[in-house]
Amino acid sequence: MLKSISKNAALLGLFAIVTTGLVAFTSTATKEKIVEAQHQALEKALLEILPDGQHNNDLLNDYMEVHHPLLAHKNPQEAFFARKDGQPYAAILPSNAPEGYGGDISLIVGLRYDGTITGVRVIPPHSETPGLGDKIEIAKSNWILGFNGKSLENTSDKSWKVKKDGGEFDQLTGATITPRAVVKAIHNTLKYFDHNKEQLFRDSYALQHPKKQKQP
Amino acid sequence: MSDYSNIIKDGLWNKNVATVQVLGLCPLLAVTGSVVNAIGLGLATTAVLLGSNTVVSLIRGGVNDAIRLPVFVMVIAALTTCTEFIMQAYTFELYQILGIFIPLIVTNCCILGRADGFARKNPVLPSILDGLVMGLGFMIVLILLGAFREMLGQGTLFSNMDLIFGSAAENWSIKIFDNFPGILFLALPPGAFFGLGLIIAIKNIIDDKMDEIKEQKASPVGIRSKRVRVTGHIT
């Protein structure tokens, strides 16, 4: 009895070691490739909302974690900064629309330094209704492009709403809650950027160039 | 030889995972919104099934009944995790779309089912074949369902195929209907139930027809035959 138990235990342990070893091996073997794939996907997503050719810094490595109630993230998320000859040019901020129909909707918002939107994209996964709320995805409809060129200056606070609520943004057929949440999140992101942009660009610059900082 | 052809028939038709055993419904219903998703999940499932059948068959002598299930689960979990890593490395966007359903392959009953029901009792070669055709059978149903839902739910076919087949497949997308708003019902999970029901029904109709033909062949009504069969089947 005892013998069979210990034999089985040893066998189970052996299999645990072998299978874990296999997983560890695959993990190590694919690690670099995965990081590369993530990097590429990120680069593709970022350049899509920030038309290339204007900035000349390494956008992917010029980032800083941000966390603020207006951005509505549960955890700090990375913001990316584009500079032209060292001068602030544009930023890509992470944002979150917590009031989506199916909960959180992650967004990235591209902003020129003057506060004009260059592009917005929804980051999968989200839980909006397929066929209705998921039209916020660029793959499903062009709705999200309606934000391009908008800013706090050319669109008043009252207009940062869907048409149904008296604003100037289209709602989607059969889905009002989703666009309402996204419009609100983007409006909040603009307000955040407007208040904090100088600080953001300064802090991220300091983060990227620690040596140039003068020691007190 | 007939053994192998039986395995193939079973996997693709007689014991098809999706239409006869009706296993693995969770991913089947969740990711069949488009053909590319269906192929992605189908390939991943087939790979895991193939691997687990092979490994289980190889170790079948050394594992006794008391611990066989935990061992099989470990093997399947390890293979699934490896598949996940590999998909993440080489088909990153597809991996993002399929999301949670890749790790959930572990819980697909058909994999443990084939390990325990077939590979445990059979030599390696038949087990490999069994894993392959069972996976293919599952994938075929996934693709049928994906095509059906993509056509009527979105009005396209083979969109985004470049996620699996690279940039060569970028132009494979076919627009079936222009300005087609899509039938929302079919894009949502209930549409998958509906589609799977249809596929099973069609399979059953074909099975019935085949049986009829077989029966007629087996008992040709001769000129002199006077017996009339009223009930039952010919055994």
CB A192 within 8 A of CB A199: no
Q: Give this prediction's pTM.
A: 0.77
Backbone angles phi, psi at A129, to 5 degrees: -60, 125
In the numeric block, which tokens belong to residue A120?
């917005």
Rounded to 10 degrees, what is the CA torsion of A37, A43, A49, A54?
A: -160
Partners of residue A19 in chain B, C-beta under 8 Å: 74-75, 77-78
B142-153 tens-digit pLDDT: 999 999 998 888
Exposure of A156 by Cβ count < 10 A (0-12 exposed, 13-18 middle, 19+ buried)? exposed
Q: Does the beta carbon of A22 lie under 8 angstroms from any beta carbon of chain B?
A: yes
In the Cβ-directed half-sphere of A61, how many Cα atoms lie within 13 Å?
5
Q: Using CB atoms and an 8 Å cut-off, which of residues 30-59 of chain A contact chain B?
A: 30, 33-34, 37-38, 40-41
The interface pTM score, or ipTM, of the predicted complex is 0.77
Q: In 10 A of CB A24, how many CB atoms?
A: 12
pLDDT tens for each residue of A41-53: 888 888 888 875 6
The pLDDT assigned to A12 comes to: 92
Nearest to A99 by CA among A168, A164, A187, A174: A187
Closest to B43 in 3D by CA, of B74, B84, B93? B84
Q: What is the pLDDT of residues A79-113, one digit of tens each?
A: 888 888 888 888 999 999 999 888 899 899 999 88
Segments making up each domain of chain B, as ranges: 2-218
Measured distance CA(A159)–CA(B8) in Å, rounded = 63
Mutation to test the A interface, candidates B29, B31, B67, B185, most A Cβ within 10 Å: B67
Q: What DSSP element (H or E) covers A94?
A: strand A87-100
